[in-house]
Structure 1
Amino acid sequence: MDTDPARPSLELVRSVTDEHVLRALMRHRRLTRAELSAQTGISKPTAGESVRRLQERGLVVDTGERTAGGRGKGRVGSYYALSPRAGTALAVSIAPGGIAAEIVDAYGDTLARASGVVGRPAAPPEVAAVLTAVAGAGREQPDRPRLAVVSAADPVDRRTGRLVHLPDAPFLVGELDPVAVLGPHVAGPVVVDNDVNWAARAEREHAGDDFAYLYLGEGLGCAIVGGGEVARGRTGLAGEIAHLLTAGPRGHTTPFIEVFAGMGVRLPGSTAIDPAALLAATAAPAPLAAANRRLVGRAVAGVVAAIVALADPGLVVVGGAWGPALLDAIGAAVAEQARAVPLRKAEAKEPAHAGARQDAVERLRAAIVAG
């Protein structure tokens, strides 16, 4: 009997073959056995056996569509696709603008969508209630989503997935546990991360694998991407820059967030920055607007200097509601520093939700392949 440990077992070979077939169907949506063979480099009989196994597992179905065979055109071929029962994923965004949820399949298509409005600032019980409501977006689907991925506009505890309230956090007042709230609505894990981290992931397509993402909107945040991965820190609170010391009025050192308090551009009853008020202040009559633009540019440049000193990114991507609009003032101040770094505007659309949604699809595909 052949007992060579270097040779893969038949079970392993079949598992790898099935993975290739599933991933080919995820890319192309529907394929015949012959097309699967061409796409994967697997022989036609082996591809056919894989399709049979995957049908028995309920992961692949015959679509009922046939190739135009016969009369000299060759044998009629059957088209196969992923089964609707292969699974779905839930992608959720918790943000000041409201809560949005999507049910997505392994092709990345949206099967259902729901949204809800929350107060500003938001209290955890209110957010939990809306979150529960929108989580039912896919009730008409045959099965619960296999997993959920959540983007939250608040710091996230890396160990538990709970939202953490920090001083001057502009959105959620208190702590919220999305894992506990969404757990009953999905069959598997609930993954939670900060919205800026998800936005940085979405930006990788445009910025590459080594850059810093600076979010300048109602809240202030940063994500460092190295080797394609976002650095989250020991507890998950990396990138919380609101209280980083920087240049304030008259060159005095001050916490970053206090620069905007001094300008009077905070939202009433909130610690959040009012983007409209900030942009108006930097577009006021020329002398005042110019002074405000220089003030904001120097303050952001001080944050960029700290990022460059600690992380040495090759690029800083600036996103958020007001950051890109003031990129010229920020760039002028950064250019005066000893270690300047290229800056550019963020390109991804709805980046936080896009990043979470993309991750949900990738995790779903991996779960389907793993069985």
Structure 2
Amino acid sequence: MTKPSQELLRSISDEHVLRALMMWRSLTRAQLAEITELSKPTVSESVRRLEEAGLVADTGERTPGGRGKGRVGSFYSLADVGVALVVTISHDGVTAACVDAYGDTVSRVHSPIGSPSEVGVVLPVAAVEAVAGQHVRLAVVSAADPVDRHTGRLVQLPDSPFLVGALDPVEVLRPFLSGPVIVDNDVNWAAQAEHAATGISDFAYLYLGEGLGCAVVSDDAVRRGHSGLAGEISHLITVGPSGEAVPFIEVFGMLGLRQPGSTAIDVARLLAADSRTLDAVARAVSGVVTALVTLADPEVVVVGGPWGPGLLHAISSAPRPLDLLAASVEEPSLGGASAAALERLRTALVEASRNS
């Protein structure tokens, strides 16, 4: 059996030290050795390399020592290693936040918009305010619009209520950072947050709000489809108010539940609707759930959004029974995107240690 190279062993040791500091924030070399189960000389060499690479720094804090109390120990933490930018683009505005490698939000800015067309102007302004001179290694974007998985551009589809236009978040944000920009649909990020919270490996996430969205999680991964448009359920055929087969989005027009001049659903009007109207909506949602169960075979269907969970009692899961659960995560799109940004930032720091 070939022995691992010294370079590989050093990179593994450095990763253990970095990840321990990401978790515990400030540790002495003795504490690092205990947590990582590496020898003290190995930890000392790793700390030296990481200091030289600018990834770890002496905090200046010392343990009590001297006069029979043992050697004085120095505490180490991550150096100023940069942050990840997290951006959400939704109907009520643009939120930009910076997350550090400890998982702390170090800045957050929300810029409201009057119409979707303003996003292209507001997005760079919000990014400037959130970044404020920090070293940004990467960005993760959640958009309430379909997203082309290959380019990160937002895609205009018929009857999408929140049409930003031909916005390219990758191009807009590139000047503010040194690494990649990852863009995905907000429902996909919400599903990832729900997956982290529940640990369920196979489920469908149904978002029912002003817009209609779905994400399918299979074997612990969101399935995005060839171009990234999997889960765009507005045109899925379901049961109309009179029992006819119609696209899902058309049901709300037939019931008078759309916002004026838009395909966006009037949530306030829907929540105040009479039982007959709500029964018609529940039948339409049940048709969508039936399609999801038939095609994706999820273990459960998670229903989120401002009005979906309130209809759980009336939604059917035919053709076979399965659990219907209300979504459990607050701000799920932001939470999912932030978790992905943190994971990618930490991985980027490990890669930086290997390349130093």
Corresponding residue SS for 1:213: strand
2:221 paired residue number: 229
Within the alignment, does 1:241 sit opposite 2:237 as a pair?
no
Q: 169, 175, 195: which is aligned to 1:178?
A: 169
User: Taking structure 1 as reference, are residues 270 and 82 closer, same or farther at Cα in structure 2, changes over 3 Å only?
Assistant: same
- CA apart distance, 1:205: 2.5
Distance in 1 (CA, whole Å) between partners of 2:235 and 2:305 is: 18
Structure 1: gaps (5+ residues): 282-288
Distance in 1 (CA, whole Å) between partners of 2:33 and 2:324 is: 46
**In the alignment, residue 337 of structure 2 is paired with which amino acid?**
A
User: Taking structure 1 as reference, are residues 40 and 173 closer, same or farther at Cα in structure 2, changes over 3 Å only?
Assistant: closer
Deviation readout 1:190-232 (Å, 9 max, x if unpaired): 0000000000000012332211100000110110111211000
Q: Is the 8 A contact 1:105 1:111 kept in 2?
A: yes
The aligned runs of 1:135-284 (5 Å cut-off) are 135-143=127-135, 145-207=136-198, 208-281=200-273
Moved over 4 A (4+): none
User: Taking structure 1 as reference, are residues 41 and 351 closer, same or farther at Cα in structure 2, changes over 3 Å only?
Assistant: same
Q: Is the 8 A contact 1:87 1:368 kept in 2?
A: no
Corresponding residue SS for 2:3: coil
1:353 paired residue number: 334
- CA apart distance, 1:136: 1.0
**In the alignment, residue 193 of structure 2 is paired with which amino acid?**
A
Distance in 1 (CA, whole Å) between partners of 2:254 and 2:350 is: 54
Distance in 2 (CA, whole Å) between partners of 1:137 and 1:364 is: 20
User: Taking structure 1 as reference, are residues 139 and 196 closer, same or farther at Cα in structure 2, changes over 3 Å only?
Assistant: closer
**In the alignment, residue 301 of structure 2 is paired with which amino acid?**
V
2:72 paired residue number: 76
Deviation readout 1:274-309 (Å, 9 max, x if unpaired): 11111011xxxxxxx221222111100100010011
Q: 81, 105, 114: which is aligned to 2:100?
A: 105
Corresponding residue SS for 2:139: strand
**In the alignment, residue 61 of structure 2 is paired with which amino acid?**
E
Q: Is the 8 A contact 2:96 2:130 kept in 1?
A: no
- CA apart distance, 1:338: 2.7
1:370 paired residue number: 351
226-235 vs 262-271, which deviates more?
262-271
1:20 paired residue number: 16
Could you tell me the TM-score, scaled by structure 2's length? 0.96
Corresponding residue SS for 2:228: coil
1:286 paired residue number: none
User: Taking structure 1 as reference, are residues 51 and 173 closer, same or farther at Cα in structure 2, changes over 3 Å only?
Assistant: closer
**In the alignment, residue 241 of structure 1 is paired with which amino acid?**
I
Q: 53, 59, 62: which is aligned to 2:49?
A: 53
Corresponding residue SS for 1:192: strand
**In the alignment, residue 64 of structure 1 is paired with which amino acid?**
G
- CA apart distance, 1:324: 0.9
Distance in 2 (CA, whole Å) between partners of 1:141 and 1:173 is: 28
- CA apart distance, 1:97: 1.4
Within the alignment, does 1:9 sit opposite 2:1 as a pair?
no
- CA apart distance, 1:269: 1.9
Identity %: 60
Deviation readout 1:316-337 (Å, 9 max, x if unpaired): 000011101221122xx33xx2
Could you tell me the TM-score, scaled by structure 1's length? 0.92
Within the alignment, does 1:298 sit opposite 2:279 as a pair?
no
Q: CA RMSD in A?
A: 1.2
Q: Is the 8 A contact 2:153 2:167 kept in 1?
A: yes
How many residues align? The count is 351
1:339 paired residue number: 320
